[in-house]
Amino acid sequence: MDRRGFLKWLIGGMGVVALAGIFYPIVRFLKPPAAVSGAIGQVANVGAVTTFPAGQLTLVTVNQRAAAVQNLNGKYTVYSLICTHLGCVVALEGDAFKCPCHGSKFSADGKVTHGPATLPLPTYHSQVQNGSLLVGPIDLTGAAYPDWYKGEFA
């Protein structure tokens, strides 16, 4: 290989590396997160009901996934905090939820109040037993959740 050929090869290689550096983050951003392992039907005890103050949202984990318990006069609802847009974990913001990734907002009952998310936060089946709140599995029947989102709980 002569000098000119080597320089062409070197510049071409650097161009490929530069393009990969540009497109890799874009592809990572657009590709939905991979499904995580875990049993969808597992029941988790998230704690004594006395630890969930009335009228408030309380952060918990259900099978290692972020969730929030809402206690409305002794009626407990457990929301998944996995954002329905691209799967980030939404945060509590006052008495509602906000996604730190792209700004979606959800009301205290999980409905979308600001996009880009279009689907509500789903809830887990739950019941009180012997003073403890048992949670699981997730209820994904309330909206047309895409397969990648269902995979988050598979």
- In the complex, the residues that contact ligand FES under the rule CB under 6 A are 83, 85-88, 99, 101-104, 116-117
Q: Which two tokens mark 102?
A: 């792209």
In angstroms, what is the minimal distance from the CB of 93 to ligand FES? 13
Rounded distance, CA 110 to CA 120, Å? 5
Q: Which amino acid is at 127?
A: Q
In angstroms, what is the minimal distance from the CB of 83 to ligand FES? 3
Q: Beta strand pairing status for 96-98 and 57-62?
A: unpaired
Burial class (CB in 10 A: 0-12, 13-18, 19+), 56: middle
Rounded distance, CA 153 to CA 39, Å? 7
